[in-house]
Amino acid sequence: MRFLVLLLPFLLGCQTAPVFQEPELRELADRVWDKLLSKASPEEAARLNRISVGTHNMEFKFQDLESPKIATCSLEYRSFTSKRVPVITYSRMFWGFDTDIQKEQTMLHELGHCALGLMTYDDTLYNEDGLLIPVSVMHSHRMISEYFIKYNDYYYLEILDKVFKK
């Protein structure tokens, strides 16, 4: 009995830690979240931190996902806390091949879902070259990296616009 009493704090402490914490994914998510906050006004940043789980209460994992899925956002139940936890899962295969800009775009999209509750927006438009491109970073298909780079500020501001219904 004495052994169990000594072991109980250790067991309870272990159960409150997040289940999935891939350091590379957490670092990317924190970097993208900080960039989003830097684009917000001070009032919007304060509001975002109030209304969102941000990245600190999220879990991140690599997994083999069915192609063509690159990443997903899900809520997973944790029996030891009786809570649902937002989890971003990134395909191992895509992570190995994706460029840094593709990873940033994918993480911004998934944070839009997991941290801010945004839906997918599949609007497209024709660019100056006559190519059909996604209007939103929340599009279900990833855009060509050069457009994400060219319009990077726009896509971060677009997320803020959707959250604050501007």
CB atoms within 10 A of CB 22: 18
Q: What pLDDT score does 1 carry? A: 46
Averages of pLDDT over each 10 residues, the chain, 166 residues: 41 52 93 95 90 81 90 90 90 94 96 91 82 85 88 92 83
Two structure tokens written together for 58? 């999220």
**Domains within the chain, CATH numbers bracketed:** 17-118+155-164 (3.30.2010)
Q: Which residues contact 99 (CB under 8 A, 6 or more apart)?
A: 145
- In terms of phi and psi (left: phi > 0; alpha: psi -120 to 50; beta: otherwise), the region of 59 is beta
Q: Is the pTM of this model over 0.95?
A: no
Q: What pLDDT score does 23 carry? A: 93
Q: What pLDDT score does 10 carry? A: 40
Distance CA 134, CA 124 (A): 4
Distance CA 122, CA 137 (A): 9
Q: What pLDDT score does 41 carry? A: 94
Q: What pLDDT score does 128 carry? A: 80
Amino acid (one-letter) located at 43: E
Q: What pLDDT score does 14 carry? A: 45
Residue 94 has phi, psi (to 5 degrees) of -65, -40
Q: What pLDDT score does 126 carry? A: 81
Two structure tokens written together for 114? 């997991």
Q: What pLDDT score does 9 carry? A: 39
